[in-house]
Amino acid sequence: MNKDSKIYIAGHRGMVGSAIMRKLQQEGYTNLLTRTSAELDLRNQQAVADFFASEKPEYVFLAAAKVGGIVANNTYRAEFLFDNLQIQNNIINSSHVNDVKKLMFLGSSCIYPKMAPQPLHEDALLTGLLEPTNEPYAIAKIAGIKMCDAYRAQYGCNYISVMPTNLYGYNDNYHPQNSHVLPALIRRFHEAKEQGAATVIIWGSGSPLREFLFADDLAEACFYLMQNYDEEGFINIGSGKEITIKDLAILIKDIVGYTGNLEFDTTKPDGTPRKLMDVSKLAEKGWTYKTELADGIKLAYADFLNKHKG
């Protein structure tokens, strides 16, 4: 990619897309192409075809998707499958028709079988049944990987796929019901501190292990791989480090400055006991994460405070 190459970032207002955009701007890329969902409905095949035909992007970061937590995934199963298939089908095919030089498709760690061996290695894809609650989303993301591979095999397209671990950072979703565990804990501890609550109750035992990556580190990895990776299949992006939910809660509690008590409601489900990415393939390509969890949470909390004043 040259500094003046026309680069389309699909999903530039989300946590991942905005991080990729910041990284490109920091590196001096000046010809960045974006559209909001109001300006361009990526589910509309004709609209996407017209956009690509008129704008002719040279490089594409496909970070647009319909996303949500476990409740949304399980409730809107048809929408999660249909919308995500439409978005990626339209962008991948229009990229081919308009001779895009390289495309990066971003997936999700939920593509792995529910009972896949830990840490999750790329070879585990399609070796078992998926987690039922987010199966439609996972199926769509698997289809995206396979579509990139199919266009590579049939047409020689330079399309690559990456699978990020659990992400957090700037522009995260702090919705009370729909957010993921790390941003949810930031909000709950902050509100407990503001309200002077004596106790914060957390679902489950606190024993499950989870891996987290700062979204700006993901953007660094995507930028690096766009220039140094060209293979079928996909590559995991993560820190390769894990932490228990209990230790995560204590860490966030300290950063937020909440001084009350912490209680775990063991009548509530724990979810998967462990979910860690095998990042050996990524390390062999020459990239490792930079932002330690405590440092990243401080940055995320500052961003939360800035966006949720009062």
Would you say 203 is a known binding-site residue? yes
CA–CA dist 53, 44 (Å, integer): 14
Q: Is 238 annotated as a binding residue?
A: no
Q: Is 15 annotated as a binding residue?
A: yes
Q: Is 287 annotated as a binding-site member?
A: no
Q: Is 16 annotated as a binding residue?
A: yes
Q: Is 286 annotated as a binding residue?
A: no
Q: Is 163 within 8 Å of 107 (Cβ atoms)?
A: yes
Neighbours of 140 (CB within 10 A): 24
Please give the full DSSP string across 165-188, using - where no structure is assigned. Answer: -EEESTT----TTTS-HHHHHHHH
Q: Please indicate if the annotation marks 36 as binding a ligand.
A: no
DSSP 120: B
Judge whether 119 is annotated as a binding position.
Answer: no
CA-wise closest residue to 149 among 230, 209, 226: 230
For residue 212, which of 235, 181, 187 has the smallest C-alpha distance? 181
13 is in an annotated binding site: yes
Cα–Cα dist 29/219, whole Å: 14
166 is in an annotated binding site: yes
3-state class percentages of the chain: helix first, strand second, coil last, to nearest 5:
45, 15, 40
Report whether 128 belongs to an annotated binding site: no
CB contact set of 195 (below 8 Å; sequence gap of 6+): none
262 SS3 class: strand
Determine which one of 29, 137, 174, 229 is catalytic. 137
22 is in an annotated binding site: no
Tell me if 11 is assigned to a ligand binding site: yes
> Active-site residue 137, yes or no?
yes
Length of the chain: 310
Element (H or E) spanning 237, and its range?
strand 235-237
**Residues of the binding site for substrate:** 188, 203, 210, 270
**Residues of the binding site for NADP(+):** 11-17, 106-109, 141, 164-167, 180
Catalytic residue numbers, as ranges = 137
**Residues of the binding site:** 11-17, 106-109, 141, 164-167, 180, 188, 203, 210, 270
